[in-house]
Every structure is written in C-alpha cells, then in structure tokens.
Structure 1
C-alpha cells in the first residue's frame, strides 16, 4: 500500500481569537492511502493545548507507518497508536479506503440514514461591537457559537443578543473561567437564553461541577479527550463535545457516541478549524448530535477541492464521494 503524509497550511479568513490564543492559519496533516487503485484520505489539525503541531503529528505518523499495510483496519489501528491527532488522520483515511474498496458509502457500513445538518457559525473574540457586527453579518446562520474569556463576557453576549435576537447562542469559554466566575455569570447567561456553555473551567480543575446544578447546560470539551475520561466527564457535564482531532478519529468518536447515549447525555460535534476533509468524518458523528459545529472551512480563506456545500440557513450538504466516505 502506498502511504503519503503531507503538511498543508490554510490561512484564516481573518485572525481567529479564543482564550489565550490567536490563530492566523491552520496547518493540517493529510494522510493518503492507495491500494489496488483505490484512494482513502484523512486530515487532522491536532490539539493545540496538547502541544500537537503539524510537524509533531507527521513525526508520529512516520514512526508507525512501517507497521501499516493493506491488512490494517480502523479497528486494529487503535492498538497500534495511542489517542492523538495523528491517529485521527490515519483512522479517517482507513475508513475512507474501507468504504471505497467496498464500493459503498460510510452510511451503508454504519447503517445510518443521513440527514443534512445545520451548523453553528463561530464568532471569535473581539471588541463587543465588532462581535455584534459579525453576528449580524452572519444572519443566515440561525445558530451562533461565541468565543469568550473572563474579559467582559456578559457585555459581549448582550451586544450579540441585541444584534441577533433570533439566534440560538452557545458559548465556548475554552477553560477561561473560574468556578466563582461561572456562578456569577450564570444568571445573565440564563436571562440571555444561552443554550449551552462549553468548557467553562480548566481541564483538570472541574471536580467542583460534580453535584452542581447549572441552570444552563454545561459542555465538556477539553475535559474529555476520549473514552478513558468519559465516565468522569459524564458526572460533571450535561453535554459532550466530540472532536475527532482530540479523540483520535472516527472510531473513538463512534465509541463516545454510544457511551453518551447510554448515559442520556446530550452530544455536540466540534472541530479544530480544518478543511472539509476534517469536517466530513465529523459529519457522521453529527448525525447523533444536538449541537453541530462543523463550520471550520468557513473560517478559512479557502477550502479543499470538492469541499462541503454550505448553504443559506447554515445548512451543510452531505459529503460527496470525491471528498470522503
């Protein structure tokens, strides 16, 4: 089997700010597998807060690639590599190859009747007036995800809500609040009809949420990387955000879906701002989710060829065979 590993960078449309970081571009690692004239592809951005970079993921892949051959499956890969961004790219490439060799679509193999999705549109952190302007300009999107930290979060939310009284708003704090700040902000969040607060507290510093009854659903992102952390996260959060970059691919993502369903936990699918090649496997996870965040390509200056179709109303068309799965 021919295996190719590439690093491909994509500039952001505008600088994208979250708690503690500003992103000017996205560096992706792309894995291409070719066997018997059939090609499978996968992409990963990795997880910045775990210090993953495109170079480190490429090195991780090159360290195991000699053990990957035509007999490697998504299932056997789980024992070959630990949970990491590099495994995501290879896992998704193996899934793509598997379905194409079978002459089917991913929906056939997983027995899913796919539905088109409505994604959130993400508003990065800027001055409140600028965030309100961006929210108003994104009027075609009925659902917005707002990046916040502890600097004037309610002022920002009030400006956005005034500009978009119609929108469903979820907020993503990226570990930027303390427990006291969360409790202080919750009444205003409830008054502003916030649908969900994602990762308010730092990873590893959220045991205080056990037994805490929040009037606004709380979501785990950084606090749950994969199955090994699921049980604890389920005791602290109402919503689980599954990102393939952090959980190591579609295989682990599907396992998290099943675990969350058994706990009656709400689900979200998220992204690390990759191209449509990253979003396509996430589209599978999104079939089970209340909250869908696959807007990564909309934040880039340009997308990969044969990318997802983003239409009015935030609707995202099904991935094509030429893209993935």
Structure 2
C-alpha cells in the first residue's frame, strides 16, 4: 500500500527565555512529519539547528526531495543512504518507527529488544543569567537528581558556585556550549571539583578540541557538537570520556542507536540530549535514555503548551507519554 507524506512547520512559544552561550531562544521551531499508510499514521518531529547550517526551510526542502521515495515505501535503512544526518532525516525516521509500531501492533521498545519505558531522571536546565538569578532558579527546582548549568565565558566560576550553593544535592552538568578556550578549561578544573560537577559538556569549539587528547580532566568531559555520526566516534573517543547522542544530530533513532551501541563498545559513557522541542521529539529519545548514564530531555518543559498526551515531569523524573502518543499501541 502506498503511503502519504506530509510535513509542516510548527512553533511552540516558550514559558521563559532559554539563554545559552550561543544566544536566546523564545520559541521552539520544529518540523513535524506524518506518514500515513491507509488509516494508520506515524508521526515524527525534528528541530533544525542553525549551528549545523539547518533551517526550517532547508529541512522541509530536504524532506520534499525524498517524498517519492518515502511514499513508495522506503525503509528506515534506505533513508540512511538517501539523506545526510540531520533534522530532516530524524523527522522521517521517527515517523517511520511510529508507523511500523502501529502497523505491527508492537511497541518500539519491543521492536528494539528493550523493556517497556519507565520514568527516568532528567537534567533540568538552568539557563544563563546573573549568578543570583541562576541561584534562584536552582533553588526553585527543588530536590531533584540532576541540574544542567548553562554558562558562558564571562564569569562561569560565579555561575557554577552560585548554583551549587543554592542546590547542594543534585548532580551537576556544566555546559558552556563551545564558548570556552583551552586556558579557561584548564583554569576552571579546581572550581569543577569544588562544586562537585559530575560532567563538563563540550567546553570548547568542535574544531578546536584536538588538544583534549593529551588532557587529563578533573571531571569527565562530554562531546556534544563534536559527535554526530558513527564516523566521528574514533577521534572523539581519544578526546572525551562521554558522548551526547541526539536524534537531530544523528539523523533519527535508527542511526542514534548505532552510535550509542558503538560508543559503549569503545568504553565511552553515554548521554542522551535534545533540543528545545515538544514531546514528539522526546518520546523516541526515551529509548536512548534507557541505556544512558546521563539524560537531558527537559525540552518540552520550556514550552507554554506541549502536544497533548506528551511527557510529564515530577521531582526531576520524566514520565513517558500517554499510551498511543508515539511508538506504542
């Protein structure tokens, strides 16, 4: 049976400005794909990211280029060769997972040989602000397992210590989003230890990280912008201790699972991350989260209104979406 493909741009206003070292976001702009086979519909969502040369328009155009292939029944594996890694392929891949699950009457967890999804601890993000404002945000988060502290290069020590003082309990991930240089990374090691930071995420630009091969960090360093696809892993494994696998970077759950499995085989720690998005992006990522050491999937919590039936959060734990939302019967 032939399929019908539809794609559209959806925008979700945020409930507060999302500030990172790279800029400020006020809304999540996503690409939503639906693939129908008869009366059965699969959905997928992706977030085109300007950091990687993507836009909503370019993602929609890329999807349009493979419309005939998809509507004629292309598999997820065929898409790996038809499109490069990125948001467009992610939206299509996830829609096909959802469609296959509904057509077969199986959950995606069953399809990949894993147990049903359970609640998982996620990082709650403290966006860049003054140290006092960041301390207030950390204190308001309450007694949660994990906080992610967005910092820049202006005064990261004050930002980190302010959050730690206000929130003495949670594990901390510090994320400069490539805004630091080598000197700052070396200088701040003592602060990271003092603040009991569990993970430092992509401190320097992806193109300026070769020196990490000879560096012995006081806390593990996680690759984010430096890791997209399988071919990146060998170099990354010499420079980082953990990798952040995101569906939008890998180009879908199919490729992301391959990256995660190979990362484990290389002895790397695993983190599952996301862009600011709706729960339709998070639902497939939860299958990666189930095998990860660190989880950062709080994107929908920044939205004024999420998609109905999406994830919920309580006490720093994400609860899976309602049955039938994505990848389930």
In which range does the TM-score fall when normalised by the shorter chain?
over 0.9
Q: 1:210 aligns with which of 210, 213, 237?
A: 213
Match for residue 129 of structure 2? 126
Shift of 1:70: 4.9
- Report SS of the residue matched to 2:179: coil
Matched, 1:152 2:167: no
Residue ranges of structure 2 left out of the alignment (5+ in a row): none
In structure 1, distance between residues paired with 2:6 and 2:324: 18
Counterpart residue number, 2:319: 317
Q: Quick one: which of 236, 240, 245 aligns to 1:242?
A: 245
The Cα shift of 1:261 comes to 1.1
2:257 is matched with 254
Cα 1:202/1:69, change in 2 over 3 Å: same
Residue 109 of structure 2 corresponds to 107
> Structure 1 stretches of 5 or more lacking a match?
none
Q: What SS does structure 2 have at the residue aligned with 1:6?
A: strand
Equivalent pair of 2:5/2:36 in contact (CA under 8 Å): yes
- TM-score for both structures, normalised by structure 2: 0.96
Quote the Cα distance in structure 1 between the aligned partners of 2:22 and 2:224: 16
Contact 1:46 1:246 in 2 (8 A): no
Query: Which secondary structure does the structure 2 equivalent of 1:241 belong to?
Result: strand
Q: Identify the residue that residue 32 of structure 1 maps to in structure 2.
A: 34
Provide the C-alpha distance between the structure 1 equivalents of 2:321 and 2:107, rounded to a whole number of angstroms. Answer: 10
Say whether residues 1:18 and 2:1 are aligned partners: no
Whole-Å Cα distance in 2 between the matches of residues 70 and 134 of structure 1?
Answer: 50
1:44-64 CA distance string (max 9 Å, x none): 012220121212111111121
The CA distance in 2 between the partners of 1:110 and 1:12, in whole Å, is 33
- What secondary structure sits across from 2:66 in the alignment? helix
Q: How many pairs are equivalent?
A: 324
Contact 1:35-1:70 at 8 Å conserved across structures? no
- Whether 1:46 aligns to 2:73 is no
2:276 to 273, 277, 283: 273
Partner residue in 2 for 1:61: 63
Structure 2 counterpart of 1:182, from 185, 188, 213: 185
The reply to whether residue 289 of structure 1 matches residue 292 of structure 2 is: yes
Q: For residues 71 and 8 of structure 1, what CA distance do their matches in structure 2 show?
A: 25
Answer whether contact 1:145 1:170 (CA < 8 A) is retained. Answer: yes
Select the residue among 81, 85, 102 that pairs with 2:83: 81
Give the RMSD, CA atoms, in angstroms.
1.1
1:65 positional shift: 1.0
In the superposition, the TM-score normalised over structure 1's length comes to: 0.97
Offset at 1:212? 1.2
Q: Residue 46 of structure 1 contacts residue 272 of structure 1 at CA under 8 Å; is this kept in 2?
A: no
Q: For the Cα contact (< 8 Å) 1:269–1:286, is it kept in 2?
A: yes
| Residue deviations 1:87-137 (CA, integer Å, cap 9, x gap) | 000010011101111001011111101332111100110010000001111
- What is the CA distance between 1:140 and its match in structure 2? 4.3
Rounded to whole Å, the distance in 1 between the matches of 2:29 and 2:43 is 16
